[in-house]
A and B are shown apart, each in its own frame.
Chain A
Amino acid sequence: MKRRTLLASGASAATLAMLGMPARAQDKLKVGFVYVGPIGDGGWTFQHDQGRLDVVEAFGDQVETIYQESVPEGADAVRVLQQMALQGCKLIFTTSFGYMDATIEAAAQFPDVKFEHATGFKTADNVSVYDARFYEGRAVIGTIAGRMTKSNKIGYIASFPIPEVIQGINSSFMHAKKVNPDVEMVVIWAYTWFDPAKEAEAAKAMIDQGVDVILQHTDSTAPQAAAQEAGNVYTFGQASDMAAFAPKPRLASIIDNWGPYYVKRVGEVLDGTWTSGHSWGGMAEGEVVIGTISDEVPAEVKAEAEAMIAAITDGSYHPFTGPINKQDGSVFLADGEVATDEQLISMNFYVEGMSGDIPS
């Protein structure tokens, strides 16, 4: 084979075809997705990929999407982003917190490529950040968990001690405690987003210590499987519906619905109106959805949860409304005061009543 310099478009189309990609790719908007786990995780990454499929469905021939699964957070992520940009992606979604520096670095090298980084806080002219108000969903499942626990011990498999995760722990704990003052929360930090083996072991350890409702901020269905095996332990679908585990152990779920946002942003790139920004949608925007509440949940609890969903969606209730004290007893929010977004995105403390420390 001869060494070639591929500048002529005909030749490059031929190469693309040989690489198994459709020819005439340059006519389409190419959109890249970087995933932290496999699509088959049944949770976080699966849900982002659903968003990608929504984009394909909405725009058909106008777009072409590529993705890469299980990209480690760190140096390798930069090369993946560079590869995607080189292959002609004009918009790239980086779907995990740990891609933050990599996204900023690649964005500086490819100023004509637009980047969308999920759950981060660093922006640039061509880098937007987007997130969803998961704590709204946590308030609802916290309420159900508080009602359903018999041992009054709720377990929480946490990933990393970052504000997004801490919001979720606080929100679910406060709302569980509101309906069940005796409740306590057991937290295990797994230091991973996706590791079924470790998530399963964490769930088992909690169950052995008398936990009978498990919440998770990790991406796999392994804790659901562990709860199913144990028998009388309840769980909630995380990021995705995880309906395969309904009606028991899975009582309800927090579904991340990225489709609307992805379709909107791709549309903006197509018509040239995309600008960098910070998007934080919740139940009102349809980004956070509570999946079907199973029949294991008594009707009055179900009604209570549905009322809360309605209140959060119409804006009449904010899960972080005072009075709320921090773990050390100092005041976080005065009576009736509502947390600002700035307070939420820098949250690094437990609320009053939580035991244990956030690792630092």
Chain B
Amino acid sequence: MLRLERRRQPSSFWRWAAPLAAVVLTMFLGGLLFAAMGKDPLIAIRTIFWDPLFGQYAAFSRPQLLVKAAPLILIALGLSFGFRAGIWNIGAEGQYIMGAIFGAGFALAFYPSEARWFIFPGAILFGLLGGMLWGLIPGVLKVRFGTNEILSSLMLVYVAENILAKMAIGLLKNPDGMGFPGSRNLKQYAAAHNPELAAGTGAHWGVVAAILAVAGAYVVLSRHRFGYDVRLTGQSPRAARFAGVNPGRLILICMAISGGFAGIAGYFEVAGPSGQISIDFNVGYGFTAIIVAFLGRLHPVGILLAGLLLALTYIGGEVAALTLNLPIATIQMFQGMLLFSLLMVDVLTDFRIRFGKAKVA
């Protein structure tokens, strides 16, 4: 009989081999599923994972990877602090939405200002504040009332989605839009626009922010006292308290960081690739970022790579939708499978597989 035996130390080999094994496993399982549905598995996998990088139109799709990866990386980095400390913010989607609303709301309040030096940084700041505010609600509730942050942060996603819909057909609606829901297009509002910094690269300010955030997070986690506190709390909350870590303060800081990062990601997206606040402007980056954080082992460099990989599934999924006539939701299926595979393989990090019956301890 197979059984699991907990390792004394998590296996450092499997810790890093697991994500790679998970990707391979996902491709394999995905291929099986496609074959079962009568689609050619090799072509499907190739279209999703290979063509966006090296296929005929890769020159177009490679920059798109950056566009998709930037928000994922930003949000996942923010989440990684809390996840390390055992604080489960799963409401990044809501914080991302609120960041976009706050940022776009600030920028549109001054429409048609030309003072880019004021509008653009101001809008980013408001995006940060919007996300932070939305993240701090479950944080404060947890510290003050002991409310479960998993459930409250999740509930707030759906509150935010409804606020978004209300904004798109109400306060922020484009007065020149003939009644169609959605704000003014921020791409046509130079002072607020988050443009491509060099033509054809896909790199916008959100990409810059993501790269800076990776470096910043690396330094904080490995060199700063706060990073030490976070890791210690994650390993042993009791030990952390003895070491002088204030758990309430740590929760608030972690929620503020994750909310704030999601918030600026929201603004960069709404002012750039997306362009406007619309009823369903959010596409689930906040949830996908949770996968990115896990796949990247909560490590800044790992998150960078994982973000690029998940971005690849988005772009590949779109190509597959067009060329193979697969529904666009196939991407979500792949993302779910990737997460399953990772979690499955990850069992090897903490456990050894043994044959035979357990010895009586």
Contact = CB atoms under 8 A, between A and B. Distances in A.
A105 B280 contact: no
Interface in B37-70: 43, 47, 50, 54-57, 60, 64
A210 interface: no
Contacts of B165: 191
A121 B179 CA distance: 13
B274 A75 contact: yes
A4 B273 CA distance: 29
A70 interface: yes
B54 A75 contact: no
Given A70-B327, A86-B60, A191-B169, A101 B180 contact: no
A8 B281 CA distance: 40
Given A15-B56, A20-B323, A20-B324, A79 B181 contact: no
Contacts of A97: 180
Interface string A92-115: 000001100100010000000000
Contacts of A121: 178
Interface in A71-130: 72-76, 79-80, 82-84, 86-87, 97-98, 101, 105, 121
Contacts of A6: 56
B70 to A, nearest CB: 14
Interface in B256-290: 273-276, 278-281, 283
A98 B180 contact: yes
Contacts of A83: 57, 60, 318-319, 322
Q: Which of A18, A75, A348 has the most CB of B within 10 A?
A: A75
B279 A191 contact: yes
A73 B321 CA distance: 16
B283 A19 contact: no
Nearest to A68: B322
B54 A4 contact: yes
Nearest to A12: B56
A163 B64 CA distance: 35
A163 B165 CA distance: 21
A16 B57 CA distance: 11
Contacts of A12: 56
Interface in B12-47: 43, 47
A163 B179 contact: yes
A163 B280 CA distance: 22
A21 B275 contact: no
B276 A74 contact: yes
B322 A84 contact: yes
Given A19-B43, A74-B280, A75-B273, A66 B322 contact: yes
A21 B322 CA distance: 11
Given A70-B328, A74-B274, A75-B275, A86 B57 contact: yes
B141 to A, nearest CB: 31
B278 to A, nearest CB: 5
Contacts, number: 83
Contacts of A161: 179
A74 B278 contact: yes
Interface string A215-241: 000000000000000000000000000
Contacts of A19: 43, 47, 323-324
Interface residues of B, number: 35
B313 interface: no
A127 to B, nearest CB: 16
A72 B57 CA distance: 23
Contacts of B328: 70
A339 to B, nearest CB: 17
A358 B57 contact: no
Given A15-B55, A161-B179, A162-B178, A68 B321 contact: yes
Given A73-B278, A83-B322, A160 B181 contact: yes
A272 interface: no
A121 B50 CA distance: 39
A79 to B, nearest CB: 6
Contact of B280 (A15, A70, A72): A72
Interface in B188-231: none
A180 B54 CA distance: 66
Contacts of B180: 97-98, 160, 162
Interface in A200-225: none
A105 B195 CA distance: 13
A74 B100 CA distance: 15
Q: Which of B55, B185, B274, B323 has the most CB of A within 10 A?
A: B323
A57 B56 CA distance: 30
A191 B322 contact: no
Interface in B139-169: 165, 169
B297 interface: no
Given A83-B319, A359-B169, A74 B57 contact: no
Contacts of B182: 74, 98
Nearest to A101: B185
Interface of A: 1, 3-4, 6, 12, 15-16, 18-21, 66, 68, 70, 72-76, 79-80, 82-84, 86-87, 97-98, 101, 105, 121, 160-163, 166, 191, 346, 348, 358-360
Given A21-B323, A75-B275, 5 more contacts: A15-B55, A15-B56, A70-B328, A79-B318, A191-B181
22 contacts: A4-B54, A6-B56, A16-B56, A19-B43, A20-B43, A20-B323, A74-B275, A74-B278, A74-B280, A74-B281, A75-B275, A75-B281, A76-B318, A80-B322, A83-B318, A83-B322, A86-B60, A87-B57, A101-B276, A162-B179, A191-B165, A348-B179
List 10 tightest A-B contacts by C-beta distance, closest first.
A75-B274, A161-B179, A162-B179, A86-B57, A6-B56, A3-B54, A19-B323, A74-B278, A15-B56, A162-B178
